[in-house]
Structure 1
Amino acid sequence: MRIHRMTATFGKLQGRSLELGDGLNIIEAPNETGKSTWCAFLLSILYGVNSRERDRAGFIADKNRFAPWSGAAMSGRMDCGTELGELTLTRATRRQTSPMGEFSAVYAGTNEPVPGLTGAACGETLLGISREVFERSAFIRQNNLPISQDAELERRIAALISSGEEGTSYTEAADALKKQLNRRRHNRTGQLPALETELAELDRQLSESNSLARQLVQARSEVEALSRRAEILQAELTDCNRWEAAQRRQALSGAASAAEQAEVRAAQVQERLQQDQIPENETIARLRGAIVNLETTRRAVDKARSERDEAMKALLRAEAAVNESPFAGQSPESARREAAGTENEPVKWNPVPGVLTFLIGVPLCFVVTYAVLFLTGSHSKLLALLTMLAGFSCVCALALFLKKRAFQAGWAELRLKRFGTADLDAIRQLAEDYAKLCEARDAAQASVNAKSAAADTLYSSLSSNEQGILLEVRRFAPDAFDIPTADQLLRACAVRRKELAEAETAAREARMRYELQVQQAPAPGTPEADVPAPVRSREAISTELDRVRAALAEARSSADRLDGQLHAAGDPAVLRASAEDLAARKERLETEYSALRLAMEALEGANTALQNRFSPALGRRAAEIFSRLTDNRYAGVVLDRSFRLSAEPVGDPVFRDAALLSAGALDQLYLAVRLAICELVLPPEKQVPIVLDDALANFDDSRCAAALQFLKEAAGNRQILLFTCHSREGEFFAGDREVFVQRLTDAAVEV
């Protein structure tokens, strides 16, 4: 297959085209110019876009990752040469849910469709391999150089061992055997566990059915035994009823006699009470209540007298307080007037100090006047007159002051003698206190009058009630002359009335017992003679009969329940037949399971044997390529069915696991194995193109040159597309017309 031209509206590519030549194509482009997008487009144009793929953590589905940035529908075209001829393949998007789902394959330059070439089978038809094999062999990405396991790739590589047949794969065979094994048994699931569960359930049902049958027989036996015991107890209870009927007839005669005697005694007591004129209970109760009320009234009289005495004492104390006041004998109003008039009351005063002051002061004024004139040396009459007037004024003022002092001293002495204090406010307060004492005395007098009247009223009522009670008691007890005697006589009457009530009650009860026994007595008939007394009491017989009946009902219910459960459990014969059928099916499945286990073990043994000689031709060719890429540093390469790789350094017989190699050497080993697979495994007639996306990024210059030289040689049989972000690959083939080198930019393609 040769790809001539690709045109894509895919991801960042918007109607961009890429021309390709035969042999080795070097497509050089900076990062983010669409190298990986062209590779993904090539894969999608051949095998389509998986519309069922979904985004997940760390992964974006191709249908979303390469959706055109412009918002246009995903589409593309590829012109190629195949064994079917020159073809034009196109894919377009008609429905958003099926990107590039519209496929067309026509012969180049015509509209004639290629028969049998569909979108689903396009890649496998043109390349001869499935998408999985293509991605694991000829489609080489930098981040996907390691080879993952695939059943079809495994079949193709296994064909190199001996048989050349591609129809077998250990993985598919093991999966098929494992599915069959799991179908029959997988932990607790599968046909065998289901049969075992069903068989265990049938065994349980059979066991339960047999147990129910045994329990039903036992329950029916218990019902019969309890029925017989109930009949015996019922007969014993009938004999007890007969004996009790005879006893009741005897008791009825005794009850009639006792009722007659009680009625006679009650009549005798009633007659004696009438003869003694004993009052009725109501009268006795009323009089005794009145006597009790007398005690209450007497206590009230005592309390009223005590309160009256206390009021008399309070009155005496109030009168004494009034008499002790300096205003005693006056009314409160006159006391207030007297207290208010003490300030203006005439008083005797001593005039001697004033007269002496005047007699001494006048001469002294003349002396002072003469002294002033002498000291000033003046003979002015006016000065002398003024000095005399001033002195005379001073003498008069002093005389008046002494007079006022004399008056005040007289008033103070008079008030102190009359009221014991000279303070006018204190005297007024004494008057107010006297008024309050008078009010308290009057209130005490009113209280004494009221309490005396109450005590007299209560005593009068007490005397009247005592006389009334005694008069009424003497009607039937002439000896009652005082209240205590009357109370004793009333008590005696109450006792006799109580005796009558008890006699009448006894007579009524005796009559009621007789009538009740008459009602309960057996029907008149011939009395049975010599009825034997029962061995046990009626209570014991009835208790046991109730217990036996309850047990019988429970036993019958249990038997009915067991019978229903036995019918619900099913026919034991049917259950046994079902169990035998299940046992046979289980035995057959166990035989198949054992055979499958043996086949699985045989397959695993064969696979173990093949692991040691898995595709020696592939290993040898990979070793040759790896040795050439590494300048003969390694001599051998081995791989197993899981594509685990090991390399043998030259001069060192110990193989090194691929994980121990450097990143660059590891990429070179994976590339060698991929190229070996492409040579030996892929169908040569299809000339499957090899696509490398930055696969040489980790190669140093020397090993990169070796790889490029090898790729040029390999391109003699197939087309190889090498996408790279470096310029060294293009520079290595500068001037080489057998290699088609072009540079991609965001704007155009440079050749």
Structure 2
Amino acid sequence: MQLLHANATYGKLDQARLDLQPGLNVICAPNEGGKSTWCRFLLAMFYGLNTRQRGDLADKNRFQPWSGSLMQGKLELSVGDKELTLSRRTQRPDAPLGVFSCTYSGTDTSVPGLDAARCGETLLGVPQSVYQRCAFIPSGSLAIDADADLERRISALISTGDEKISFSQVESRLKKQLRQRKYNRSGSIPLLEAEIAGLRAAQQEAQTLTGQLENLQQQLSQAREDQARRRQARLQAAQEALREKESCLRALPDSSDLQRINQQLGAVRSLGDQVQQAQEAVSRQESAIEDQLQELNRNPLHPMTKAQLEAQLQIQPPAPPQVAQLLISLALGLCGGGFLWYEIDRPQVLWLCLACAVTALAAGNFLRLLIRRIRLQQSRRRELSRQEELRKLAESYLPALEELEAQRALLRQKQQILSDGDRRLRTQLSDLLSQVSRWDDSVQSAGDIRRFVRETAQNRDRLAQELHQAQTQLLQAQMSDADDTVTHLQQQIAQVQGRLDAGRDAQTLGDQISRLEEELVRQQAEYDALRLSLDALQAANTTLQNRFSPELGRRAAEIFADMTGSTWSHILLDREFHLSAESGSDPTRRSVQLLSAGTADQLYLAVRLAICEMILPPEQNPPLILDDALLTFDDARLATTLDYLTRLGAQRQILLFTCQGREAALLEGRPSVHITNLT
């Protein structure tokens, strides 16, 4: 088979065309260039769309044309010497690609035997699930998972050629039959065993009930004799309990006492609240005084009192010497100086000395008085300045000081109120405690009084209820026993007799047990046969797997070595297609999950190509479609893989979609390779 031309309105493709050639076709396009869309379109042209899928990722929703047109497409291909044209278009929006036709190219003649459902399997030779697990490799999905169709195809190659039966399906049916007969505690066998056990229990119960009936009749006779004695004992006990409850109730204060105590306690609590409020008022007043003291501490006049401040303001600085004293000293000095001037040319030494002394004394006294006057004037100015500053500070200090004194007086008043309230509270509480101590001498506080009142009220209610119950019990004890042991035994006898009358006899139960045991033997034999069949089927499947897996692993290892030149010599697969590999130099088996991402993708590609060789029908020779399958290959392995695909292209058409330029650069110029660039 060869794909020739494709026209698609599918996803982002709008009337797009793709021309293909035999051999290896390399289709290059950047990301979001439509490569994956072309791959899904080709798969949809062969197998159609699954309209039962739901959600945004379903192909019918995911590949709705971006242009708003209806989904449609055409595919021209050659099968042998004939060219066919596949067409799928949308007539109803809820059935995309629902209209199918397959004609001979250039004609309107339909190809017989081809319809929408069987088109892909007829032309490609395998169901869609098989084709997607070998020849159709989408981007990022090289790994293979198990599938019933693929399993049937493999079984047909290594056994009889019958593809109608799958091991997993037969195994599932056998396990279902086994579960129907026995699965843990469910199934027909456990049900039969339970029913037989129930019948045997019923048979045993009938015998037990007969013995119980005789025993109950004897107990009834004895119980009637004990009835009178029990009635008298209950009557005495009820009378004693009634007297005890009445005595306990009289020992407690009555309702009026509790009400009076509660009222007094309310008054104490109210007074306590007042004391508490007074205490809080005192605390607030002390806090306010403390704040004012802190404010006064910042004033330089603190801690002066008002009297001290007034005394400071009344201090008068000393007066300086009078001017007359200075003038007298100056006159004396001038006189002494004149006399000295007069006597200086005369020989009297005594008068000269006297004149000098008088002049010196007068001059010294004048200077002393002058200096003292200057100093006293300076001191007076400083004192006047200080007193002016004191007056300015006193303007703010004295009102704050007076406010502090007023607050202290208010504090003393509130403290007196607190003291009086506390004294009254103690007096009232002491009176109330003396009253309550008549009934409970452990009461020491208002809280104890509240507890006493609450517990006493509860005890009175409880004792009243118990007293009522005791009175009721006394009345019941005086009445006849309607629900005593005799009545209970009579009821039990009636129940046992009724169960005996309703039950089946031992012979009937024995016959039923025999029939069920025969059915159990038959069901167990079928279960054993099914278990043996399942074991044989699993052994046969293991044998088939042992015949197929080594051959598939050997061929995959050859392809892997041919593609990459790797040293991995063995590739091993289990039934679920889990891969592991061994190298020639190291016999240790390594799971594919332990290998690098590139090596794992190369192993999976080799296994897919090996499966294609082994299970795809050579007469159909379906094409191989790869969507960015070589992204993780390094340059060296990419080159050898492309060489292998080029050789494989001589046997089968290959469509290699890629978003890189490495493949085109390595394959450029080769005659059997066709490179197409999507724009």
TM-score range, shorter chain: 0.5 to 0.7
- Does residue 99 of structure 1 match 2:96? yes
Task: Return the letter of the residue paired with 1:37.
Answer: T
Correspondence 1:723 to 2:657: yes
- 2:559 is the alignment partner of 1:625: yes
Structure 2 residue corresponding to 1:649, chosen from 583, 587, 603: 583
Number of the residue aligned with 2:599: 665
After superposition, the C-alpha distances for 1:667-711 in whole angstroms (9 at most, x for unaligned) are 222111111111121111111111000111111223222222221
Choose which of 139, 142, 148 in structure 1 pairs with 2:139: 142
What is the CA-CA distance between 1:637 and the residue it aligns to?
Answer: 2.6
Indicate how the Cα distance of structure 1 residues 566 and 150 shifts in structure 2: closer, same or farther if over 3 A, else same: same
1:192 equivalent among 171, 189, 199: 189
Change (3 A) 1:545 1:736: closer
1:711/1:579 Cα in 2 relative to 1: closer, same or farther (>3 Å)?
same
Do residues 68 (structure 1) and 65 (structure 2) align? yes
Matched, 1:34 2:39: no
Return the letter of the residue paired with 2:123: L
Q: Are residues 689 and 548 of structure 1, via their aligned partners in 2, closer, same or farther at CA, if it must alter by over 3 Å?
A: closer
Q: For 2:82 and 2:638, locate their aligned partners in 1 and report how far apart those are by CA, in whole Å.
A: 35
State the one-letter code of the partner of 2:678.
Answer: L
**Aligned residue pair count:** 430
Contact 2:223 2:485 in 1 (8 A): no
- Given candidates 144, 168, 171, the residue that maps to 1:171 is 168
Larger-Rg structure: 1
1:74–1:99 Cα contact (<8 Å) kept: yes
What's 2:52 paired with?
52
What's the secondary structure of 2:115's corresponding residue?
coil
Opposite residue 570 of structure 2, the aligned amino acid is G
Q: State the match for 1:691 in structure 2.
A: 625
1:680 aligns with 2:677: no
Q: Distance in 2 between matches of 1:165 and 1:556?
A: 76
Cα separation, partners in 2 of 1:548 and 1:138, compared to 1, 3 Å? closer
Partner SS for 1:648: strand
Relative to structure 1, the CA distance from residue 599 to residue 28 in structure 2 (aligned partners, 3 Å threshold; closer, same or farther) is same
The offset of 1:651, in angstroms, is 3.9
Conserved in 1, the CA contact under 8 Å of 2:60 and 2:96? yes
Partner Cα separation in structure 2 for residue 730 and residue 26 of structure 1: 7
The answer on 1:115 being equivalent to 2:106 is no
Quote the Cα distance in structure 2 between the aligned partners of 1:588 and 1:115: 53
CA contact (8 A) 1:27 1:724 kept: yes
Given candidates 691, 699, 714, the residue that maps to 2:648 is 714
Would you say the 8 A contact 2:135–2:608 is kept in 1? yes
Partner of 2:535: 601
Q: CA deviation at 1:584?
A: 2.4
Would the alpha carbon gap of residues 595 and 709 (structure 1) be closer, same or farther in structure 2, given more than 3 Å must change?
A: same
Please tell me whether the aligned partners of residues 226 and 551 of structure 1 are also in contact (alpha carbons under 8 angstroms): no
The code of the aligned residue for 1:16 comes to: A
In the alignment, which residue of structure 1 is the partner of 2:450? none
After TM superposition, the structure 1 = structure 2 runs for residues 224-235 of structure 1, keeping only pairs within 5 Å, are none
With over 3 angstroms needed to count, the CA separation of the structure-2 counterparts of 1:8 and 1:579, relative to structure 1, is farther
For residue 128 of structure 1, the aligned residue among 125, 130, 135 is 125
Alpha-carbon spacing, 1:568–1:89, altered in 2? closer, same or farther (3 Å) = farther
CA contact (8 A) 1:123 1:131 kept: yes
Which residue type is aligned with residue 54 of structure 1?
Answer: R
Letter in 1 for 2:86: L
CA contact (8 A) 1:46 1:123 kept: yes
Shift of 1:40: 1.1
TM-score calculated relative to the size of structure 2: 0.56
Tell me which stretches of 4 or more aligned residues in structure 1 moved more than 6 Å. 220-223, 225-229, 543-553
Deviations 1:392-424 (A, max 9, x none): xxxxxxxxxxxxxxxxxxxxxxxxxxxxxxxxx
- Work out whether 1:741 is the aligned partner of 2:670: no
Give deviations 1:146-195, integer Å, cap 9, x for gaps.
Answer: 11112332343345556666565443333232222222222233222333
Q: In 1, are the aligned partners of 2:36 and 2:139 still within 8 Å (CA)? A: no
What is the Cα deviation at residue 29 of structure 1?
0.6
Q: Which moved more, 1:546-555 or 1:735-744?
A: 546-555
* Partner SS state of residue 49, structure 1: coil
Kept after mapping to 2: 8 A contact 1:632/1:650: no
Q: 1:162 to 1:601 in 2, by over 3 A?
A: closer
Could you say what secondary structure the match of 1:31 adopts? coil
C-alpha distance 645-569 of structure 1, shift in aligned 2 (>3 A):
same
Matches within 5 A, 1:84-483: 85-161=82-158, 166=163, 169-216=166-213
Does the CA-based 8 Å contact 2:10-2:63 persist in structure 1? yes
Structure 1 stretches of 5 or more lacking a match?
234-542, 746-751
d(CA) in 1 for partners of 2:192, 2:568: 59
- Of 20-29 and 598-607, deviating more is 598-607
Counterpart AA for 2:34: G
Supply the distance in 2 between the matched residues of 1:666 and 1:103 (Cα, whole angstroms). Answer: 39
Q: Which residue of 1 aligns with 2:22?
A: 22
Q: Report the RMSD for the aligned CA atoms in angstroms.
A: 3.5
1:562 positional shift:
3.5
Partner of 1:408: none
Give the distance between the partners of 2:11 and 2:201, measured in 1 at CA: 66
Please say if residues 614 and 639 of structure 1, whose CA atoms lie closer than 8 Å, have aligned partners that are also in contact. Answer: no
Structure 1 length-normalised TM: 0.51
Deviates more, 1:716-725 or 1:70-79: 70-79
Shift of 1:726: 1.3
Is the contact made by 1:106 and 1:114 (CA closer than 8 Å) also made in structure 2? Answer: yes
Cα deviation 1:350-383 (Å, max 9, x = unaligned): xxxxxxxxxxxxxxxxxxxxxxxxxxxxxxxxxx
Once the two structures are overlaid, the 10-residue window that deviates more, 556-565 or 148-157, is: 556-565
**Cα deviation, residue 143, structure 1:** 1.2
| Distance change >3 Å, CA 593–CA 544, structure 1 → 2 | farther
Letter in 1 for 2:6: M
Q: CA deviation at 1:559?
A: 4.3
What residue number does 1:281 align with?
none
> Hey, what does 1:7 align to over in structure 2?
7
Q: Using the alignment, how far apart are the partners of 1:669 and 1:561 within structure 2? A: 78
The corresponding residue for 1:702 is 636
> Match of 2:16, as an amino acid?
R
Farther off after superposition, 112-121 or 707-716: 112-121
Q: Secondary structure at the match of 1:685?
A: coil
CA contact (8 A) 2:567 2:583 kept: yes
Q: Deviations over 1:176-223 (max 9, x none)?
A: 322222222222332223333333443444444444454456667888
Q: Secondary structure at the match of 1:684?
A: coil
Q: Give the conservation status (yes or no) of the 8 Å contact 1:160–1:615.
A: no
Give secondary structure in 1 for the equivalent of 2:526. helix
User: Matched residues in 2 for 1:649 and 1:725: separation?
Assistant: 32
Shift of residue 88, structure 1, vs aligned partner: 2.5
Contact 2:123 2:620 in 1 (8 A): yes
Partner of 2:523: 589
After TM superposition, give the deviation of residue 553 of structure 1 in Å: 6.4
Q: Kindly, what percent of the aligned residue pairs are identical?
A: 48
